[in-house]
Amino acid sequence: MMSAAKYAKSVVILAAIAVLSVAHAAGQATAIPTTRLINPEELVKLLHTYGKEKPLMIQVGSHVLFSQAHIPGSEYIGPASTESGVQQLRKRVESLPRTKFIVLYCGCCPWGRCPNVKPADDTLRALGFTNVKVLYIADNFGTNWVDKGYPVAKGE
């Protein structure tokens, strides 16, 4: 029979694990509410629809990946998992109206492992932007955008 002290210690340890697990999940793209996501199909449709407001599209991942293929018209800012990337993002949007329609994307890794989109989304929310969507890329940009035949641009 476990003593009360040992029992309490076990509960504290297990509770700490639970808290850390939640915190870990909170830093992941999976913590972005689905209401803030846009699917590739939806974005393509929007980009092709005459009269619809076109978003400012910002890639917040790898430059080498951006150079190989990116959404036409999108801008490269830098990996938002880095401080310099976040600073570049802030600098890019600081003069924009807070109602500006912005789409963030990365596509480096499977959605749950992307280190970039959540920090970027958090940054824009903290700056007061109210019309931001994050492009949901389940596997990677190649599989979920390029291989689907969606519009692609190369280079800078």
Partner 1 sequence: MLLVAVAIIGAGAAIYLMRHHESSQAQTSSSANPMAPDFTLPQLDGRDLRLSSYRGKLVLLDFWASWCAPCREETPHLIELQNKYGDRGLQIIGVSMDDSPDPARAFYQQFHMNYPVAMGNAKTGELYGGVLGLPIAFLIKRDGRIYAKHIGATDPAVFDKEIATLLQAP
Q: Which residues bind partner 1 (CB under 8 A)?
A: 11, 14-15, 17-18, 21-22, 24-25, 28, 30, 62-65, 67-69, 79, 81-82, 107-110, 112-113, 115-116, 139-143, 146, 154-155
- Give every CB contact of residue 82 below 8 A, 6+ residues apart in sequence: none
Of residues 81 and 93, the one with the C-beta less far from partner 1? 81
CB of 108 to partner 1, least distance (A): 6
Of residues 113 and 125, the one with the C-beta less far from partner 1? 113
Of residues 38 and 65, the one with the C-beta less far from partner 1? 65
Of residues 127 and 151, the one with the C-beta less far from partner 1? 151
CB of 58 to partner 1, least distance (A): 16
Is 60 within 8 Å of 120 (Cβ atoms)? Answer: yes
CB of 132 to partner 1, least distance (A): 22
Q: Among residues 71, 47, 46, which one has the least CA distance to residue 59?
A: 71
Is 137 within 8 Å of 40 (Cβ atoms)? Answer: yes
The Cα-based distances of 146 to 53, 56, 94, 138 in angstroms read: 23, 20, 31, 13
CB of 96 to partner 1, least distance (A): 25
Of residues 18 and 96, the one with the C-beta less far from partner 1? 18
The Cα-based distances of 126 to 11, 79, 120, 133 in angstroms read: 35, 18, 10, 14
Q: Which residue has the tokens 């689905």?
A: 34
Report the b/e string of 139-151 with b at 16+ CB within 10 A: ebbeebbbeeebe
CB of 36 to partner 1, least distance (A): 19
